[in-house]
Homo-oligomer: A and B are copies of this chain.
Amino acid sequence: MLHELKSLKSKMKKKEAKDKIKKLQEDISALQLPLSKTSSGVVIVFEGFSASGKGQMIANLITELDPRFYQVHSTPKITDTERRLPFFHPFWSKLPLKGNIAIFDRSWYNRAVNEDKQEEFADDINTFERQLVDDGYLVLKFFLYISKQEQKTRLKALQDDDFTSWRVTDRDIKLNKDYDDRFDMIDNLLTDTSTNYSEWYPIWNENEWEGTLKVLTTVHDKIKKVIEKGVKQTKPTEYKFPLIKMPLLDDLELRANITDDYYKKALKIEKASLSRLHSAIYKEKIPVVIAFEGWDAAGKGGAIRRLSWALDPRGFDVIPIAAPSFEAKNRHYLWRFWNEIPKDGHIAIFDRSWYGRVMVERVEKFTPNSRCIQAFREINEFEKNLADWGAIVLKFWIHIDKDEQLKRFTERQNTPEKQYKITDEDWRNREKWDKYEVAVNEMLQKTSTEYAPWIIVEGNDKKYARIKILETIKKAFEQKLKSLNDE
C-alpha cells in the first residue's frame, strides 16, 4: 500500500496550498454542527513512522474545530490498568458520542505492533471496525510515512534541539536502522486491515502541506458524505461460531425441586468451595464475566445475592443494567458493557446485560430489527474477545413459567415491603410474554457458544435454581484452573 504514492510529486505552489488548507479547515469546522445532528460518530486514526509529523497533522486538522465536539486521544503508552483489561478496552472506552469526532493519535494498530500481535489481532481489528461502521460510525485511518533518509534527518534535528532532544528514543534510532523491514511489516498490516468499510489512506508526508491537503480533503469529503447520506452498513459476510444446541423454552421440564434441608446443606457446601476457588481465580488473575437474564420475578436478584455470599466482596462487582443513559444511548450499544468489563482476577456480575439488545430493544422496537439481528454476531464476537483474553464467560437464563410469574407478581403486590419491586411495566411486559419467548429462543440458539455458553436454569423452584447456578460457576472455575495447570 505504501509504495504507490512514494513517487507522486505535486505541482501546486505553497501559497496556493496554504490557502486551500485554510479553506478546508474552515469547511470542516462548518460541518461540525450538521454532523452533531446525525447519529454518526467519526473515528479518525493517525498512525505513522516516528517523526512523520503526526502531531503537526493533528494540529492542522483541529485548528478550526469547535472543542465541544471533538476529542484527541493520545494512546502512545498502554497503562498498567489497561493491560489488565482486554486488548480493545482502551479504544472502546474512548469511542466518541454520535455526532462527535474522536481523533486517535496512535491506536489499536500501534498497540498491536508494539506488542508484536499484528498478526494475531488483524482479524479482530477488522471485526472491531466493522462493528463501529455497522453502528453508524465513520472510520478514517491515515498512515503517515517518510523515507528512511528523511526520518534520519528529522530525528537528528530533534536531537540537536535542547527542547526536543528527549523525544528521540533509542527505539526511534533503531527503527530508523530497521526501516526496510519495518516498512514491509507495516505494509502487510495495512493491506490486511484496509477493508471496503474502513480504508487506509497512506500519506506521503515529506512535504508538510501536501500530506495535510490530502488528509483534510479526505476528512472533509467523507464527513460531508456521512451528513448527506449516513454511513453505509457493511455487506454481510460468512461467519461461524462454535454454537451449542439449546432446547426451546417450551420443552423445558420445570418440575425440578429440592427440599429445604438439602438446600441448606448444599448452599453451605457450594459457598465454601466457591469461596476457596474465588481466591485461586484472583491469584491466577482470571477475569470472570457472568450475566443474569430471565423473566421478571424469575429470581435473578436472589440468585445474585447467594452468589455474592460466596465471594470476597473485594473481588467482584454487581452491575445492574437499566435503561441506557444519554452517554450510552448515543454511542455503540456495547460501549457501556465494555466499560464495565472487570480487570483480570475480578468478577463482574451483570444483573441484565447486553442481551437487552435482542430482547427488550427488539420486542419493543426501540432499535430497528435489522440492527438487532446483527447483534447475534456482534455479541458472539464481543464474548469471543473476552474469552480469548482469558475470561470465564457464563450466561444464565433463569426460566419460570407464566403461572409461576403470576404467583410471584401477586405476592409482590400483596406484600408491602415487596411492592416497590413490581411496576406497571412488569405487567405490560407480561402481556408480551409470547413475543419475548420467540426472541429469547432465538437468542439462546444463536449466542450459546462453547466459549460463552448459556445455562438455562429451571427457576420455578428458587432453591433449586440457586444451587444449580452456584454449582455451574464452581465447575467453570475448576475447569479453568485445571486447564491452566495442564498448560
Digitize A60-83: 1 where CB-to-B-CB distance is under 8 Å, 0 elsewhere: 001110111001101010011100
Measured CB to CB, the nearest residue on chain B to A417 is B30
Interfacial chain B residues near A373, Cβ < 8 Å: none
Selecting from A199-207, A226-234, A276-284, A393-401, the interface stretch reads A276-284
In Å, the complex CA distance between A313 and B72 comes to: 7
- B66 with A301: CB separation less than 8 A: yes
Interface stretch of the complex, out of A315-323, A403-411, A467-475? A315-323
Minimum CB distance partner of A62 in chain B: B313
Pick the contact of A74: B58, B314, B420 (CB < 8 A).
B314
Q: Min CB distance, A278 to chain B, in Å?
A: 9
- Given A59-B312, A59-B313, A80-B80, also A318-B163 (CB < 8 A): no
A64 touches B313 (CB 8 A): no
Does A187 sit within 8 A of B, measured CB to CB? no
Q: What is the interface of chain A, defined by CB distance below 8 A to chain B? A: 30, 33, 55, 58-59, 62-64, 66-68, 71-72, 74, 76, 79-81, 103, 105, 163-164, 166-167, 276, 279-280, 283, 301, 304-305, 308-309, 312-315, 317-318, 320, 322, 325-327, 349, 351, 417, 420
Residues of B within 8 A of A308 (CB): 62-63, 67
A420 touches B79 (CB 8 A): no
Are A314 and B64 in touch, CB under 8 angstroms? no
| Cβ-defined contact, B315 with A74, below 8 A | yes
- By beta carbon, the residue of chain B nearest A61 is B313
- CA separation between A309 and B322, bound complex, in Å? 42
**A33 to chain B: closest residue by CB:** B420
**Closest approach, in angstroms, between the C-beta of A45 and any C-beta of chain B?**
14
* CB of A49, distance to nearest CB on chain B (Å): 16
B164, A279: Cβ atoms closer than 8 Å: yes
How many protomers of this protein does the assembly include? 2
Q: Which of B30, B33, B80, B279 contacts A81 (CB 8 A)?
A: B80
CB-CB nearest in chain B for A277:
B163
- Identify which of B58, B80, B279, B320 contacts A67 (C-beta below 8 A): B320
**Cα–Cα distance between A349 and B62 once the two chains are bound (Å):** 15
Query: Within the complex, which residue of B58, B59, B67, B167 is in contact with A304, where a contact is CB–CB below 8 Å?
Result: B67
- Residue on B with the closest CB to A80? B80
Docked Cα-Cα span, A64 to B119, in Å, equals 48
Listed A/B pairs (9) with beta-carbon separation below 8 Å = A59-B313, A67-B305, A67-B308, A80-B80, A105-B313, A163-B276, A167-B279, A325-B325, A325-B326
Nearest 5 CB-CB pairings of A with B: A67-B318, A74-B314, A68-B320, A58-B313, A79-B81
Best-surrounded residue of A103, A314, A349 (most CB of chain B within 10 A): A314
Contact of A305 among B64, B72, B103 (CB under 8 A): B64
Residues in B neighbouring A326, C-beta threshold 8 A: 325-326
Chain B residues with Cβ below 8 Å from A81 are: 79-81
Residues from chain B with a CB closer than 8 A to the CB of A164 are: 279
Instruction: Give the CA-CA distance A105 to B313 in the complex, in Å.
Output: 9
Within 8 Å CB of A280, what residues of B? 163
In the assembled complex, how far is the CB of residue A30 from the closest CB belonging to chain B, in whole angstroms? 7
User: Which residues of B are found within 8 Å of A276, using beta-carbon distances?
Assistant: 163
Considering only CB atoms, which chain B residue lies closest to A66 in the complex?
B301
**With A62-B308, A63-B305 already in contact, 13 other A-B pairs whose C-beta atoms are closer than 8 Å:** A30-B417, A55-B312, A55-B313, A58-B314, A66-B301, A67-B320, A72-B317, A74-B314, A103-B313, A105-B313, A163-B280, A164-B279, A325-B325
- Are B317 and A71 in contact, with the CB atoms below 8 A? yes
A280–B349 Cα gap in the complex (Å)?
45
* Chain B neighbourhood of A317, CB < 8 A: 71-72
Distance in angstroms between the alpha carbons of A74 and B59 in the assembled complex: 40
Q: Bound state CA distance, A317 and B67, in angstroms?
A: 9
Contacts of A55 in B (CB 8 A): 312-314
How long is the Cα–Cα vector from A166 to B279 in the complex, in angstroms? 9
The verdict on A351 contacting B74 (CB below 8 Å), with A62-B313, A279-B167, A312-B59 known, is: no
A280 to B163, CA, bound (A): 6
| A102, chain B: closest CB distance, angstroms | 12
Q: For residue A305, which residues in chain B have a CB less than 8 angstroms away from its CB?
A: 63-64, 67
